[in-house]
Structures are given as C-alpha cells and as structure tokens.
Amino acid sequence: MCAKTYTQEQILSGIRIVWSWAGVIVAFIVSFVLFIPVGVMVEFINARLNPLPEGIETFGDLARVLSAIILDQQSEAASCSTP
C-alpha cells in the first residue's frame, strides 16, 4: 500500500478552499448574530416612537382612515369658503 504524496501547492490550495468555506460560514453566523437582533431592536423602537392607531392592521384599513381624514379636511375647507 503506497501513501499518496501531495505537493506544497496542492496542500495550500486545499487549505485556501477550507478557509474560504469557513469565511462563508462565519459570514452567515455574523449576519444572524448581529443583524437580526439589530432589526428586532429597530422594530421595537419604531413601534414605541411611531405607533399605529387602533384598528389599522392592513393597507386597506390605512386607506380607509386616510380617506376619512382627507374627506373631513375637504368638507371643512368647503364650508369655510362658502359665504
């Protein structure tokens, strides 16, 4: 049984491949460890600083509320302009 011998260049090439995959794995771990908690924290702060009014859960709800506000402003402006 003969043992296979590798050149120094082959060994270094294998090490580079292993380290490149290790870098990819570390990048994924860092993204989960750092970016996801930061996103959760930003979402929490945004919810505290800019809460939505009660009853708005979808864009349809938001459209209804905004249209009611706009209609109120238009009717108020029309009543002020008539003598």
Residues 11 and 42 in one domain: yes
Q: Judge whether 21 lies within some domain.
A: yes
CA distances in angstroms from 20 to 5, 30, 49, 53, 65, listed in the order given: 24, 15, 42, 49, 53
Distance CA 16, CA 22 (A): 10
The DSSP 8-state label assigned to residue 56 in this structure reads: -
Residues 47 and 62 in one domain: no
Distance CA 19, CA 23 (A): 6
Q: Judge whether 1 lies within some domain.
A: no
Give the global pTM.
0.38
Q: What is the pLDDT along the chain (83 residues), one digit of tens a residue?
A: 677 888 889 888 888 888 888 888 998 898 888 888 888 999 889 888 877 777 888 899 989 989 998 988 888 777 776 55
Q: Measure the N-to-C terminal CA separation of the chain; round to a whole number of Å.
A: 109
Residues 45 and 68 in one domain: no
